[in-house]
Amino acid sequence: MSQESNLQRRTMTGEFAITAEVTPPLSASPDDLLSRAAPLKGRVDAVNVTDAPGARAAMGSLAAAAILINDGFDAVLQMTCRDRNRIALTGDLIGAAAQGVNNVLVLYGDDPTGGDQPDAKPVHDLDSKGVMSLMRQMRDEGVTTSGREITSPPSFFIGTADSPHDPAPDWQPAGLLAKIEAGADFAQTQFCFDAAVARRYMARLSEHGIPERLKILIGIGPIASAGSARWMNDNLFGVTVPDAVIDRLEKADDQKAEGRRICIELMQALNEIPGVAGVHIMSPNQGMDVIARVIDDSGLRPAT
C-alpha cells in the first residue's frame, strides 16, 4: 500500500511547506525532465507536474510524476478533467498510487480551443469535485464508483485549486467548503501578490474552520518585469498585481532582481499568517534556478 507523502507529513505537522511547479518537456527522455527539475532538489517539499497546460501536449503528468518520485522527489500529480472519462481517471489514479504518487491536484483543465490542437475534443465526464469524490471513495472505502473492490487501496492526499481575494463583507466560502466535502485535503492557489489580501482572506476562511480541514498553500512567484505584471493582470483569471508592486518594479534598475525580492518578502510575510500552510511557487518563464535562488535567499530553508 502507498505511504503518506512528504508533503502530507509536513503540512499535517504544521511545518511551512514549499512546493514549486514544473512543466514537463515535449520529450521522450526522462533526463530532459530531471535536468529541468534539478535546481529544486533539496529545496522543496514536492514538485507539481502540470497536465498539458494551455491545452498543449507534453510528457504526460503521470509519467513525469513517477520519474520524479524515482529520482527522490515528492511529486504532486496535476490531473485535469479535460482529457479522461471516469474509466481512464480510475485507471490512471490507481497507476499513480502504484508508483508512489500520492499527491494529486485535481483541475478542470484549459480549453482545447486555446491550445495548439484546437479541434481536440474535451471530455469532462466528471468535474473537479466529482474526481475528488472518486479519489476519496477509492481511498477511504477501497472501492470504485461501480462498487468494485480495490485490492490495495491508494493513500491519496487530495488537492484542489483556489484563488485568494479580498472578501466582501457578505462573502461566504461555499465553493471551498463544497470541495472539502468532496474530499479535498489541501489547496494550492492562484498567484497572490498582496500579503494583506492573503491575511484578510485567511481570516475569513478561519471563521469557517477551513484551515483546520484544508492545508492551504498560497501561490506566489518572482515577477520578471512591470510588463509581465501588467500582462498577468490582463490575462490571468483571479490574479491582481497591486499598483504598488508594478510601480516598484518600474523604478528598479534590475526588474528581475526586484521581482525576486518581492517574492521573498511575500514568502516571509505568508509564513507569519495564521492558517497558511505554505507557498506554491510558479515561474513558468524564468526557470527553476530562479525559484531555487528565491528559496535560498528567503531564509526559510537552509541553502543547498
100 pLDDT higher than 70: yes
Q: What's the average model confidence in pLDDT over 86-113?
A: 96
pLDDT > 90 fraction of the chain, expressed in percent and rounded: 94
Spell out the SS3 assignment of 65-90.
HHHHHHCCCCEEEEEECCCCCHHHHH
Topology annotation, domain 6-162: TIM Barrel (3.20.20)
- Rounded to the nearest integer, the mean pLDDT of the chain is 95
Cell of 56: 498543449
- Residues paired with residue 220 on neighbouring β-strands, in sequence order: 281
- The Cα 164–Cα 276 span in angstroms is 11
Q: Are 176 and 210 in contact (CB under 8 A)?
A: yes
Per residue in 123-178, pLDDT (tens digit) is 999 999 999 999 999 999 999 999 999 999 999 999 999 999 999 999 999 999 99
Q: What's the average model confidence in pLDDT over 65-90?
A: 97
304 pLDDT higher than 80: no
Residue 159: CA count within 13 A, CB half-sphere? 28
For residue 64, give the nearest of 84, 43, 79 by alpha carbon: 79
Pick left, alpha or beta for residue 263 (phi over 0 → left; psi -120 to 50 → alpha; otherwise beta). Answer: alpha
Per residue in 195-219, pLDDT (tens digit) is 999 999 999 999 999 999 999 999 9
Q: Are strands 103-107 and 75-80 parallel, antiparallel or unpaired?
A: parallel
3 pLDDT higher than 90: no
- The Cα 64–Cα 213 span in angstroms is 29
Q: Are 74 and 42 in contact (CB under 8 A)?
A: no
Q: Are 273 and 201 in contact (CB under 8 A)?
A: no
Q: What's the average model confidence in pLDDT over 46-66?
A: 95
- The Cα 182–Cα 262 span in angstroms is 35
The least confident of 212-216, 249-253, 282-286 is 282-286
